[in-house]
Amino acid sequence: MAQPTTSSSSPGPEAPRDRRMAVRALSGVAVGNFVEWYDFAVYAYSTKAIATLFFPDADPVTALLGTLAIFGVTFLSRPAGGVFFGRLGDRIGRRNTLSIILLLMGAATTLIGLLPTYGGVGVAAPILLALLRLVQGFSAGGESSGGATFLSEYAPPNRRGMWSGLSNSTQTVPFAVTALLVLAISSGMPEEAYLTWGWRIPFLLAAPFALVGLYVRLKLEDTPVFQSLQGSGEVEHAPLRLVVRNYKPELFTLIGVASLNAVAFYTMSSYMSTYLTEVAHLDETTALFSNAIALCAYSVLIPVMGLLGDKYGRRRVILAGAIALAVTAVPGYLIAGTGGMGSAVLGQVLLTVPLVAVASVVAVAQAELFPAAIRYTGAALGYNIAYAVFGGTAPFIGQFLVEATDSAITPAYYLIALALLALVPILRLPETSRVQMLRGDNTEMRRRPA
């Protein structure tokens, strides 16, 4: 793999022309991220109600697996969304593309809140649910990499990891907020009322949230890097072709490192509360509240880990994180499942700390691996292939392994296997913390040997 070009001392478009606009960019991405991932998280914390309402004729285990399978279906459309929005972002700009994504996600989430259940339309209900989840996945396919591209192109060169970590925090906070919101709504009314109409409230809130996020994003300017490409006439109109033809090593490296992040993150954010209630038999309040605490710890720690990556290098941080994740997986699950709020929090935090080290590097390195003119496409394609194969299936595989082996600890072994396999692409990851975000014109990209 060719090493990315290192940065020089000249300021150029690498440094934002307006520091105030850079801070506004960080705020805009943060608000948009919160709205986008709130929409995505609502389903994960409503699985119990959805299993009852959309799969009522199935036994509880089959209904739960069916609900988790539809969660996984969302990720099937993420690579297509990544390619579509990545190409759009490299052609019409990062800001406009991120605004379209936000509007699409908000519409799909709101429509889920309006869906009839199985009792009203029969088998059409889970089919419509799956279709709207595919739209959500298509939208999400452009969000993470788009946000990473936007922020990394605005951030100070020696703080890209920290800024990307701050952006990533706002992708995680919605999971904690949603967990607490669902808990408040479900515990604040009789179960019958919650299953009749209460479960819809978090989904319907997506509409006003999306409008607020859209307003904030449209107030931003596009990145100095993209504006420089426009000014020099170097906007690439076939970015996917160039990524696939000339940047296969970077693409496969990104898929490898992002796969571990995908499994670990969606195990923590979307499966752990289900695991604690269905496998460890903790009450729902303990499961949701402890998971929210762990996700808050993630949000606080990831910019700190990003700063460490800025200072000591990306590869050192992610390597330490992968090894630590393999070591702490079994103790983390064992402690979390022993019963009680304290052990549930401790076990999840034990898994969260090494996950943060991995996630902080993936958040920024996905953008740093590719030249500016094809950055959005390359990052979105690699990132979303990893999440389609490993992220969306993580909750389903975790629960399936428990049911198939009758062992509560098998999801931890799956996490260990992924952590060890990820060491191969991690060791191939070039050190990207010092690269320029504007490097190489289209002629150079086309000349590069495949």
Tell me the pLDDT tens digit for each residue of 228-284.
888 888 888 889 999 999 999 999 999 999 999 998 888 887 788 878 888 888 888
Residue at token pair 């975790």: 398
CA distance linking residue 386 with residue 160, whole number of Å: 23
Domain presence at residue 9: no
Domains of the chain: total: 1
* pLDDT of res. 1: 57
CA distance linking residue 244 with residue 156, whole number of Å: 29
Judge whether residue 5 has pLDDT over 60: no
CA distance linking residue 10 with residue 196, whole number of Å: 62
The 10s digit of each residue's pLDDT in 314-361 is 999 999 999 999 999 999 999 988 878 899 999 999 999 999 999 999
CA distance linking residue 122 with residue 139, whole number of Å: 27
Q: What CATH number does residue 322 fall under?
A: 1.20.1250.20
DSSP code at position 431? -
CA distance linking residue 121 with residue 289, whole number of Å: 34
Domain presence at residue 138: yes
Mean pLDDT taken over the chain: 85
Q: CB of 40 within 8 A of CB of 133? A: no
* pLDDT of res. 58: 64
What global pTM score does this model have? 0.81
Domain presence at residue 23: yes
167 vs 85, higher pLDDT:
85
Judge whether residue 208 has pLDDT over 50: yes
Domain presence at residue 5: no
Q: CB of 307 within 8 A of CB of 161? A: yes
User: In which domain, by residue range, is 51 found?
Assistant: 16-447
Judge whether residue 37 has pLDDT over 90: no
Taking only Cα atoms into account, the Rg of the chain, rounded to an integer number of angstroms, comes to 21
Q: CB of 64 within 8 A of CB of 396? A: no
The 10s digit of each residue's pLDDT in 59-76 is 677 777 777 777 667 778
Domain presence at residue 187: yes
The 10s digit of each residue's pLDDT in 159-192 is 899 988 888 888 778 877 888 888 889 888 998 8
CA distance linking residue 242 with residue 253, whole number of Å: 17
The 10s digit of each residue's pLDDT in 276-308 is 888 888 888 888 888 888 988 998 999 999 999
Domain presence at residue 100: yes
Tokens of 89: 């972002």
Domain presence at residue 147: yes
Q: CB of 333 within 8 A of CB of 413? A: no
| CA atoms 41, 379, 317, 420: torsion sign | positive
